[in-house]
Structure 1
Amino acid sequence: MRRLQRWEAWLALNTATVLWGAQHAVNKHMLVFTSPSALTAARFVLAATAVLPWLPLSRARNSWLDGAKLGLWSTLGFAFQMVGLQYTSASRSSFLLYLNVKLVPLLELMVHGHMPSLQTWAAAAVALLGALLLAFDGGAPNLGDLWSLVAATTSACFIIMLGSASRSEGAVAAELNATTAACTAALCSVWAVADAATSTTGSALHDLLQLQAHIAEVAFLGVVTTAFAQWLQALGQARIDATDAAVIFALDPVYGVCFASLWLGEHLGPQGLLGAGCILLANLSQYACFARRTAASAQAERDAELPLSQKLLVDE
């Protein structure tokens, strides 16, 4: 398979971001009918089924090892997100969840020793201010806000690990996406079974009936916003590093608020809008840096493809 151009990788990641923006409203809507564990398990079982043809052979040890690690972080991220959505709005959850944009460079500093730029630190401070304003919009912060912040941290870890895994030698985006979905489906199923076993209300049958009654929404979450979108993410991050990818993902809450407003009728108050604006401003400032680096990289690639005679003329 040929290597993607940077603009193709950029398009893949932006398409995934739009799809993820739609999932917040659908998740919030579905939690009226079923439990977080049952919905998440059904979503990933469908996703794993959709990518079944791309599961690598058993000898592909690295693909399965990476898939297991990514599956763990994926499970934690989605679990915390779904639990949080029970207590907070889809709009607030989407903005708080995508503070992972600011957490990625900070975690990379801790893990890989990559020192963020001064502009990244400033953007992180503005984003933190925005998160505080958003959390106090319409009342004091709630338990759902806290779970959303925990989900943001685990999501940032997933982005960093996916960036490393997708650029490793011999990595294939479709296989990596398939093993991640399969491992996540297995872990989420364990969560759902444990949740049903410890429930005192006997809600397991109710959850199954509700999932069947809303199969279109579950299929959208599983096939479109999970299997397809995560394949696009693995494809794009093979070409674009984790920090720059996180900047693209930061547009998710913008789409999330639009979908939540159209479908659920949710609206942010003045303070929430100010906070959302701060987060968006912080992300756009980093996006400008990303655009400059992309242009410089593209120019360098074009220069590298020039024959030696033309390079000498350029140097002269």
Structure 2
Amino acid sequence: MKKGVAIGGLILVTVIWGGGFVASDMALESMKPFQIMMVRFLLASVLMGLVSMGQRKKEAKIENRAGAVKAGMLMGLTLFAGFALQIVGLQYTTPSKNAFLTALNVVIVPFIAFVILKKKVGVKGIIGAIMAVAGVALLSLNGNLTLGIGDLLSLFCAVGFAFQIFLTGEFVKKYPAAVLNLVQMFTAFVLSTISLFVFGETDFQVTTKGWLSVLYLAVISTTICYLLQTACQKYVEETKAAIILCMESVFGTMFSIIILHEVITPRMVAGCIIILIAVIISNLSESGGEGNGENVQKIRETA
């Protein structure tokens, strides 16, 4: 897979995830947060299991199976944390603030890479990250910037997603994507099921629209997207991947306008344009070899 194709794949992921904001909003009308997550990750685990069975010969060559399982569990833990904090936070804040605060993972990812791997972040990567956050702010924020409980949960969810992006970039070079995704989804399913019982969300009274929404989240937004994300991140550096993935808010707004009939403003348009420019800037090669695939592989294989 060439780098350009991988970047295109990540953009497709953001389009689908953008639709996920609308699907989540519809599902919350008749389902509790951990009910949505439990069903979502159960179906995703089954589908990932089928994918793994189809790649059984490749999986048999895994030299460190225990390492692959541990890696997938770590990814699943961060994935669960990100989605749980996001969907619970969405109940106490507006979708626009939720989207903006979630997109702060763009800034957090390179910080994680710097702290853990001592990995230098290029100037264009920093500029792209700052522009991306500014664009999402224009696109999403309304009113004041005070932090309520929902905003705080959304902020912490950005940390979870940042670690998930970082860990995906590190582990996908070492272990088969199918194994990582199966373990990741099953771990998130187990944690969601435990949380469902802990928070007393066992009474299911779901509408047809709710089931259709969670089906979209499980099959399209989770299974297909995370298989595609994992495959594409073999060829795209973590910071750039995080910036590209923040375009989810752009497409989320577009789908909200089309499906939920939200009113578009010049501010929204400006935010979309700034995010698109940030993606372009972040994917321009730095002098000295930033974005060189061989260098990226060397850095990731040190983990």
TM (normalized to structure 2)?
0.81
How far did 1:225 drift?
Answer: 0.6
Deviation per CA, 1:103-152: give whole Å up to 9, x if none.
21122111111121233334444445556666752344453333222211
Q: Which amino acid aligns with 1:88?
A: T
Going from structure 1 to structure 2, the CA distance change for 1:259 and 1:131 (only over 3 Å counts) comes to: closer
Q: What is the Cα deviation at residue 271 of structure 1?
A: 5.3
Indicate whether 1:163 and 2:169 are aligned. yes
Paired position in structure 1 for 2:179: 175
What displacement does 1:77 show? Answer: 0.4
- Given candidates 185, 193, 198, the residue that maps to 2:197 is 193
- Give, as a single letter, the amino acid of the residue that structure 1 aligns with 2:31: T
* Aligned with 1:233 (options 207, 213, 229): 229
CA distances 1:28-77 after superposition (whole Å, capped 9, x unpaired):
22212221111111111111111222166898322211111100000000
Partner residue in 2 for 1:45: 42
What residue is the counterpart of 1:99 in the other structure?
Answer: 104
Aligned equivalents of 1:288, 1:244: Cα separation in 2: 10
Q: Corresponding residue for 2:281?
A: 285
> Which of the numbers 202, 212, 217 marks the counterpart of 2:213?
217
The amino acid of 1:189's aligned partner reads: T
Structure 1 residue 183: deviation in Å? Answer: 1.1
Do the aligned partners of residues 126 and 13 (structure 1) sit closer, same or farther apart at CA in structure 2, a change above 3 Å counting? closer
Residues 268-295 of structure 1: CA deviation (Å, up to 9, x unaligned)? 65556655655554444213348x9799
Contact 1:94 1:257 in 2 (8 A): no
1:150 equivalent in alignment to 2:156: yes
Per-residue CA deviation, residues 236-272 of structure 1 (Å, 9 max, x unaligned), is: 1122221222232122111111111112223465556
On the 8 A contact 2:26/2:210 being kept in 1, the answer is no
TM-score normalised per structure 1 = 0.78
Which runs of 5 or more structure 2 residues have no equivalent in the other structure?
A: 54-58, 295-303
**Aligned equivalents of 2:170, 2:291: Cα separation in 1:** 23
Quickly say closer, same or farther: Cα 1:209–1:161, change in 2 above 3 A.
same
Q: Which has the larger radius of gyration?
A: 1
Letter in 1 for 2:105: N
Q: Between Structure 1 and Structure 2, which shows a larger proportion of helix residues?
A: 1
| Superposition CA RMSD, Å | 3.0
Preserved CA contact (<8 Å) 1:78 1:151 = yes
Q: Using a 3 Å threshold, how does the CA distance of structure 1 residues 123 and 103 change in structure 2: closer, same or farther?
A: same
Counterpart amino acid of 1:13?
L
Segments of structure 1 that go 5 or more residues without pairing to the other structure are: 197-202, 299-316
Q: Percent identity?
A: 26
